[in-house]
Chains A and B, each alone.
Chain A
Amino acid sequence: MIDIWLILRILIFPGFAFILLLTLFCDWVERKFEARIQNRVGPMVAGPAGILQPLADFIKLLTKEDIEPRDSKRIVFKFAPLVAFTIMVFAICFLPIDGASVLSTGGFNGDLIIILAFSTIASFLLFLSGWASCNPYGTISAARVLTQFMGYDIPLFLIALTPAFIVGSLSIFTIASGVTLASGQTIPIILLAPWAFVLFIITMQAELEKDPFDVPDAESELVGGLETEFTGAKLAFLHLTRDVQIVFGSALVVELFLGGPYGPVFFGVPAFWYSLWFVLKLLAVVIITEYITTLFARLRIDQVLSANWRILLPAAILSLMLTVALVTWVYPLV
């Protein structure tokens, strides 16, 4: 028997349509914020205050001519962007957005690992698309993407385990619900492990390839980076994949550290309030990452890698050890 309710949830809310609109909205927020920091105004003409600008970009790209270079690897070139986009959307579907996720009401133990694995696969597909375009700029950029995200995945996983340790479970729902104190109050993880929050934001900045870790997309040396040869619909999906990655990364921060969608419910249906808190917290994290982007220049690839292996990885290990120690000896007293 077909569950109409489930299909509506998948397609519209909080599924595909909601995620798409949220992505376009976050793109607009980023552009306006960056413009304001730079003393400018940003998009103003497409829709009121330019809010339809990302939608206009997307539709325009869909209707452009699709050029395939003769030397490119056909199948990968054609489908890698679309598959990457699909996987990222699928990963978001595991996160609790309005109290329940798109696919299930309670999640399962271990879905944190699965969605982190999905994000790695999506990044790998981005590397493949750069490699498949067989353009020297694309190849070098793809190599940088690979080096960067594989290096930063390790501290990412380690720091993502910190909330899991505190809560004692690998299920996102449980982590998002926060910790229940002896007095009955639930508090988000950020209050228990603020150092992990800071490290996670930095690592996420590198995973999402934003300044100062913007290396694969370095316009001044590599022209268009791994997107150089893509046009039309494929370029639209590449851009969308990048934006969905940003939403996914920010959503992960919200779920792991900021207490997910849970917050005070004032009246009416709790699902409405949970979605509202989720979107507000997501926007706060998006603004924080965009703020860091505008503040810094772009580092070189060797500086990015040395920041990873020499600073972030030891810091991640230390953070984990500190959290385990606190959980075992200090927090049970609270």
Chain B
Amino acid sequence: MSNNKIDIISVVQSKLKDKVEIQLGQLGTAAINTTNGLHRDVLKAMIDADEKTGLTAITGLDLGANLGILYHIHTSNDFITIRAEVPKNNPKIQTIVDLIAGAAFHELEVSDLFGVIFEGNELKGHLVLSENWPEGIYPLRKDVIANEVKLVPAPEERKPPEMGKLVKIIIGPQHPALLEPEKFVVTVDGETVTKVEPRIGYVHRGIEKASETRTYVQDVYLVERICGICNACHAYGLVAATEKILKTQVPERAKYLRVIDLEFNRLHSHLLTLGHAGLEIGYETLFQYFWRDREPIMDLIELISGNRVYASLMTIGGVRRDLKETDFPKIKTTLEDLRKKIPFYRQVYENEPSIKARMKNVGTLSREDAIKLCVVGPVARGSGYDIDVRKDDPYEAYGEIPFNKIVYTEGDTWARMNVRMDEVEESINIVLYALDHMPSGPFRVDVPRNVLAGEAVSRNEAPRGELFYYVKSNGTAFPERVKVRTPTFANIPSFLKTAIGENIADVPPNFVSLDPCFSCTDR
């Protein structure tokens, strides 16, 4: 890593001078207002200057007569938003797929939900909308009352699988390997995979549209239920973005309590994935052991909040409940007990021959591909791409708590599982430190019901990777737009690439190692 911080803003300013308008401090490090075509020039300038430039999300906005498109770009040190607008009666804009390979699905989603046509993007069809949704009606536009849209009969899709050399195996929507419904059509030649075509959208519940008709506080409960596994992170994302618009000062105690809630979330999610991976490779005993050790964490979450899964601790201005000092010893003993079991699991992953046979050199993702496809989370850190929002862009109390970033370089399924195992230990350390250094004071502040007009982004490190929220407010108690980009959405293209050329039997472990959460992806 070079020691000089690349000053992206000056690079853009020098290359494009007065053609673009740069607003510092807005939507990340800066927001750059461009027009159709210029957005590509800005992006090219950034990519030429910094090789770690990648796309976080593309947000669509309904601005009345125009459709706004926001490209949220992350570089080595900064987070820049490039704005562009297209008129509604001719919503065409040039694609950026040739510059950033991982942008394909993001663009398809905006064209699915808003009707923007990205010239040069070859993906067609619905991404998240169902087959019986009528063409030409875009639910996230303001003039569409989405639950009164008349649905059309779905087109027939009964094609028998081709016998002969190439067989199409359909994984999902009902499948023992997947907890959730998604369809993957895997084309195999004998036992080798040649192509994977996903069809997502089975879990699309229209949350982004629904959040516009509920108040901010109601939205915290709605948005939390995007995913039951990483629920605290979703709640935090919305709450943090809203607090940035309101410029609220969250009390110190609340920050530490939020860290504890987020780390409990990470603990239970990693133990869940590690166990689920065992189930995929036929190792039921490991699955049972991991989930047995996960139960004390669920008890802890119930201790601090009253519910095993949905802690619902986050609220705008702080946390909903305080943590009693009398509960600290129980939390500490439970975490210490868990820590004692980690060497056993590490030794299983190191020495167990059947695990090594099934997980080593399976689904290898090189570092260059990881950067190009903009993957996040343990998938990136398992391939040597060391990004972690808690370290790169510290939020809440993470800036004050010492912990390590876990990076493995092998890039295969085994490495990703080990990243998660080590992160379990790091999370235990973080919670214990937070308990020992908990500041006293209030745990929430009051916030006004009507949020003044503005927009903000927030990023946090969910168990699966970077979770991104964009919130736009209009002065009322209801948000104007809430945009969520979940980590699995960013990681799916990497799966489509790593599965090719592998054995069909390697598809489940490879799939589980990227820790897919389709309820997050579809929203």
Known: A136-B169, A296-B354. A221 touches B284 (CB 8 A): no
B240: min CB distance to chain A, Å? 37
Cα-based distance from A223 to B169 in the complex (angstroms): 11
Chain A, range 186-244, C-beta contacts under 8 Å to B: 211-212, 214-215, 218-221, 223
B residues 268-291 in Cβ contact with A at 8 Å: 278-286, 288-289
Whether B161 contacts A136 by the Cβ 8 Å rule is yes
Q: Which residues of A contact B357 (CB under 8 A)?
A: 297, 299-300, 303
Supposing A136-B167, A219-B176, A221-B505 touch, asked if A301 and B191 sit within 8 A by C-beta, the answer is yes
> Does A38 lie within 8 Å of B282, measured CB to CB?
no
Q: Is the CB of A294 within 8 A of B284?
A: yes
B354 adjacent to A298 (CB under 8 Å): yes
Q: Give the bracket for the number of chain A residues in contact with chain B.
A: 20 to 34
Chain A residues within 8 Å of B308, by CB? none
A65 at the interface (CB under 8 A from B): no
B281 near A297: Cβ-Cβ < 8 Å: yes
A220-B280, A297-B278 given; A39·B288 CB < 8 A: yes
A334 within 8 A of B: no
Residues of B within 8 A of A38 (CB): 284-285, 288-289
**Is there an interface contact between B282 and A298, defined as CB atoms closer than 8 Å?**
yes
A330: CB under 8 A from chain B?
no
Chain B, 334-360, CB within 8 A of any chain A CB: 352, 354-355, 357-358
Q: Is the CB of B504 within 8 A of A221?
A: yes
Distance between B34 CB and nearest chain A CB, rounded to angstroms:
47
Shortest beta-carbon distance from B264 to chain A in Å: 23
Establish whether residues A221 and B507, one from each chain, have CB atoms under 8 Å apart when the complex forms.
Answer: yes
Contact flag A39-B289 (CB < 8 Å), given A136-B161, A220-B176, A300-B358: yes
Chain B interface, number of residues (Cβ within 8 angstroms):
31
Closest to A214 in B: B282
A297 to B507, CA, bound (A): 15
B-side contacts of A297, CB under 8 Å = 278, 281-283, 286, 352, 354-355, 357-358
Bound complex: CA A140 to CA B280 (Å): 18
Q: Is A295 an interface residue (CB 8 A)?
A: yes
Known: A38-B288, A221-B508, A223-B176. A298 touches B283 (CB 8 A): yes
Roughly how many angstroms separate A219 CA and B161 CA in the complex, as a whole number? 20
Q: Is the CB of B161 within 8 A of A218?
A: no
A302 on the B face (CB < 8 A): yes
Whether a CB of chain A sits under 8 angstroms from the CB of B210 is no
Interface residue B175 (Cβ < 8 Å from any Cβ of A): yes
B503 interface residue, CB < 8 Å from A? yes
Known interface pairs A136-B167, A297-B354, A297-B358; A39-B283 also in contact (CB < 8 Å):
no
B500 within 8 Å of A by Cβ?
no
User: Please, how many angstroms separate the alpha-carbon atoms of A221 and B280 in the complex?
Assistant: 9
| Nearest Cβ on chain B to A224's Cβ, whole angstroms | 9
**Nearest chain A CB to B87 CB, angstrom units:** 48
Q: Answer yes or no: A37 CB below 8 A from chain B CBs.
A: yes
CB <8 Å contact, B175 and A223: yes
Find chain A residues with CB under 8 A from B175 CB. 223
* Residues 380 to 430 of chain B near chain A (Cβ within 8 Å): none
With the chains together, A38 CA to B288 CA distance in Å?
6
Q: Which of A212, A220, A295 contacts B177 (CB 8 A)?
A: A220
Chain A residue at minimal CB-CB distance from B176: A219
Considering the complex, give the chain A residue whose CB is closest to the CB of B161.
A136
A298 to B353, CA, bound (A): 11
* Nearest CB in chain A: distance from B160 CB, A: 9
How many Å lie between the Cα of A298 and that of B177 in the bound state? 14
Which residues of A have CB within 8 Å of B354?
212, 296-299
Residues in A with CB closer than 8 Å to B161 are 136
Contact yes or no, B503 A296, CB < 8 A:
no
Q: How far is B289's CA from A223's CA once the two chains are assembled, in angstroms? A: 24
Interface: A40 (CB within 8 A): yes
Report whether A220 and B358 are in contact in the complex, using a CB–CB cutoff of 8 Å. no
Q: Which A-chain residue is minimally distant from B169 (CB atoms)? A: A136
Structural contact, B285 and A300, CB atoms closer than 8 A? no
What are 18 of the A-B contact pairs (CB < 8 Å)? Answer: A34-B284, A38-B288, A136-B161, A140-B167, A214-B282, A215-B505, A221-B177, A221-B504, A223-B175, A296-B283, A297-B278, A297-B282, A297-B286, A297-B355, A298-B282, A299-B358, A300-B503, A301-B505
